[in-house]
Structures are given as C-alpha cells and as structure tokens.
Amino acid sequence: MENTVEKARFRKQLLDQRDSLSPDLVKIASSKIQENLRKVEYYRNARLVGGYSAVGSEVRTQDILKEILSAGKELSLPKVEKNDLVFKRITTFSDLEVGNFSVMEPKERCETVKKLDVILVPAIALTREGYRLGYGFGYYDRYLHNKRAKKIALSYSKQIVKSIPHDSHDVKVDCIVTEDEIAYPEKL
C-alpha cells in the first residue's frame, strides 16, 4: 500500500515535469531518440517489433513506427482487451482507431501476435537499473511478465531518476534509449 501511494505521488510529480516540456524540445529529443534507437543491435535485427502510439508528452513514436513499417518489419501495437494488453499486427496507420485512454490502438480485426522480438515500452520514469514507472494500471508489467522479447524504454534524459519504488511484479527493461544515451541496465 505504501509503495502504491508513493508511486502515485511520484508519478504525478514526474508527469507534471514532462508535460512542461516545450513542443519543440519534445520534437527535437524524439528525433534524437529515434537516431539512438537505430544503434541498438537487437532492435536493428528484430523482425517482429511491438511499438506504441505516443500520447501527451511521451516520446513521439509516429516516425519510429513509420520507419519500422517501411523497413519491412512486422509491427504490432498494444490494445487493451478486457483488463489485459494484447499486441495486434498493423500494416498501415489506417489499421488504427482511438481506443482506451484516447490512445490509437489496432482495430479489432487486426491479428493478435503472440511472439515479438523487441517491445518498445513507454515510461514516465526509469532508473539506471531498468525499473520503470508506468501509468499505474499494470498493463505492461502483466504483459511483459515471462516474455522473452527485449524490452526497450524510450525516454527523455530528464526521466532517468535515482530510484523508483518498485514491487516484485514490476518488470525491468533491457535497454533505455534517451536523446543523450543508450543504457543497458543488465550490464550494470
């Protein structure tokens, strides 16, 4: 219970900070993050990629998603079904519609994908050890539990923090890509 309250307080503070970033800074940083993402070997070599549609002040992913599709890779995006996250394959942006939380999600007719090589993960904050603070619904932690796919968090440098309250069910990411660096928590 204490972790939940602490996470909620921390989440609000960090979201407020991220939301205060200027649109120009978000655009420039997102472009640099995309450049750095291309340097991650297991991302470059992945054939089956799970992405996400950015909302609010998140790292812009539209150009990343376009690049994945134009490279001939298979792209899947998350959709909330009942109380779980599933990834569904898309071949074009017309396969998307506004879904839960006003996030662009694959349409129902899109094929559900069971295996991904790499999953791009949104975050409000991260630690250098790979702990991630999400939006508090647990969708990604439940989905990522026991998945072999490499988990890559896209984040602004300002979102890297010293510590985050975490629980045993929180899933760590394998790689953090910011506008300034690429970090591999498992190598720490």
Q: Six-digit token pair at 43?
A: 């991302």
- 26-71 pLDDT per residue, tens: 999 999 999 999 999 999 999 999 999 999 899 999 999 999 999 9
**All structural domains of the chain with their residue ranges:** 2-187
Threshold 0.75, pTM exceeds: yes
Assigned token pair, 89 = 């394959």
**Res. 1 pLDDT band, cuts 50 70 90:** very low
73: which DSSP letter?
A: -
Say if CB 129 and CB 107 are below 8 A apart: no
Q: What fold, for 2-187? A: Rossmann fold (3.40.50)
**Per-residue confidence at 187, pLDDT binned at 50, 70, 90?**
low
* CA separation for the pair 61, 51 (Å, rounded): 8
DSSP code for 168: T
- 78 secondary structure, DSSP code: E
List, in sequence order, the alpha helices (H) in the chain.
2-19, 23-37, 41-44, 62-70, 139-144
Instruction: Determine the Cα–Cα distance for residues 66 and 139; give it in Å rounded to an integer.
Output: 24
